[in-house]
Structure 1
Amino acid sequence: MPHALYLLGIAAFAASGVLAAHRANMDPFGGFVLAFAASISGGTLRDLILDRHPLYWTRDWLLLLVIASVAAVTMLYLRRRTLPHRTLMVVDALGLAVVTVIGARAALDAHVTPVAVLILSVLTGVTGEVIRDVLCGEFPPLLLREEVYATAALAGATAYLLLHGAGAPDTLNTAASAGLVFALRLAAIFRDLHLPRLQRTTT
């Protein structure tokens, strides 16, 4: 179950990378670069912090095959169809929801402190998006705008940690926590849910 779920999140991030490359008018090579960057950056950073070697994706040929396949299929689809403007954000929301929860599970398995679980979960979820946006020349990245993004990941990671501590079944915990992240992101996308901007004080 966790590996299949992780493949789903990775596939969503791979598609979001290609969609971002398409919007930035990149060539197919750029599409593949962004697909891989968006998909594996968060997990790579998490494993480096936890000193887990070898890195998870260096031994998982299926994961790499999924990324490449999803990237290729998405690029072929985009040659024939135009996707709605919000498609990138919705697909990215799915990836964020799944990968954040997987990050929480990996951090718990490493027996780190609760605060570290939250930090590693958020880093796992948002790092790929930051790198994708930077490579596309989007400044500031989505993470640093007022939209609910990292805060959605933090909410999901907190829910996962609390439910785990309460002894909830892992399947229920995973579904509820990922669902919370996804719902918050959809609210941000379609209902303009956002954090208040920093206001300049006047004297």
Structure 2
Amino acid sequence: MSALAMLDYASVAVFALTGALAASRAQLDLVGFAFIACLTAVGGGTLRDLLLDRNPLFWIAQPSYIALAACAALLVFFTAHLFESRYRLLLWLDSIALAVAVPAGVSLALSQGQPAPIVMIMGMITGTFGGLMRDVVCNEVPLVLKQGELYVTAAFAGSAAAVLAQWLDLSTPISLMICAGTTWALRAGSMQFGWQLPVYKSRPPKQ
């Protein structure tokens, strides 16, 4: 199994868990769980593949990705009630999924010989759009837009770290590990320690 396939499988599994947890918070039925889990699991990768003209899409070429997401939904459907704070669990699982999905996007772009800006954009898209779709469909404020959250920033920094590592002539596996570590460290630091970028605050106009 290739490194890209391993990253895609890991990303699908963890993002599917977050989608199912969001479905549990919305009190959906089993079909709703599976739908949200699959949407979250393959959303970012689908957009990545479409933009990079990858044919067929990764989950069409290998339907086992959808089966994995559905199994994750089934697991959460019967176990979500065991967790005291499903939202907190969702946040931490989402941070792990982000740290896996961003390198998956970076890996595919690098394998196609894409220039640095496209590599970084593909990393961000793969990492963020599945969760964005999940939150919009479940009528939640998207994590990527929450004030003060390092989310897209973490994805961008991770992608940029991979590009820098490649420029320094490090191997692709090492570059992807640096990408994952940077992404997760920033996202986890934002949740645990309140790391954030400056937020725009409007001022009343001068008279």
TM-score (norm 1): 0.93
Q: Secondary structure of the residue that 2:128 maps to in structure 1?
A: helix
Shift of 1:104: 0.7
Please give the residue correspondences for 1:35-114 in structure 2 after superposition, counting only pairs within 5 Å: 35-114=37-116
* Cα offset, 1:169, TM superposition: 2.3
Q: CA RMSD in A?
A: 1.5
| Residue 191 (structure 1) shift | 1.0
Q: Give, as a single letter, the amino acid of the residue that structure 1 aligns with 2:14.
A: A
- How far apart in 2 are the matches of 1:112 and 1:170? 14
Cα separation, 1, equivalents of 2:97 and 2:13: 8
Whole-Å Cα distance in 2 between the matches of residues 121 and 84 of structure 1?
27
Q: Is the 8 A contact 2:19 2:37 kept in 1?
A: yes
Q: Secondary structure at the match of 1:137?
A: coil
Query: Is 2:22 the counterpart of 1:20?
Result: yes
- Which residue of the other structure, out of 115, 118, 121, is the alignment partner of 2:117? 115
- The structural deviation recorded for 1:162 is 1.0
Tell me by how many angstroms 1:44 deviates.
0.7
1:171 alignment partner in structure 2: 173
How many residues of Structure 1 are paired with residues of Structure 2 in the alignment? 202
Partner of 2:12: 10
2:175 is aligned with 1:157: no
Counterpart of 1:189 in structure 2 is 191
Alpha-carbon distance between aligned partners in 2 of 1:163 and 1:112, rounded to the nearest angstrom = 15
Contact preservation (8 Å) 2:15, 2:97: yes
Q: Does 1:129 align with 2:151?
A: no
| Structure 1 pair 45–182 and aligned structure 2 pair: CA distance change class (3 A) | same
Q: 2:25, 2:97 → 1: CA distance?
A: 19
Letter in 1 for 2:195: L
The letter for the 2-side match of 1:69 is: C
**Which residue of structure 2 aligns with residue 144 of structure 1?**
145
Query: Which sections of structure 1, spanning at least 5 residues, go unmatched?
Result: none
Alignment pair present for 1:30 and 2:56: no
TM-aligned CA deviation for residue 193 of structure 1: 1.5
Q: Which amino acid aligns with 1:124?
A: T
**Counterparts of 2:110 and 2:173 in 1: how far apart (Å)?**
15
- Determine the C-alpha separation between the residues in 2 that align with 1:5 and 1:104: 10
Q: TM-score, normalised by structure 2?
A: 0.91
Cα drift, residue 83 of structure 1: 4.1
> Aligned-pair distance for 1:170?
2.5
Per-residue displacement from partner, 1:136-192 (whole Å, max 9, x unpaired)?
1113x1111220000000000001111122221222222221011111111111111
Q: Is 1:86–1:189's contact at 8 Å kept on the other side of the alignment?
A: no
Say if 1:143 and 1:150, in contact at 8 Å, map to a contact too: yes
Counterpart amino acid of residue 103 in structure 1: G
Letter in 1 for 2:111: D
Q: Quote the sequence identity (%).
A: 33
| 1:105-149 CA-partner distances (Å, limit 9, x unpaired) | 11122222211111111011100011000001113x111122000
What's the secondary structure of 2:149's corresponding residue? coil
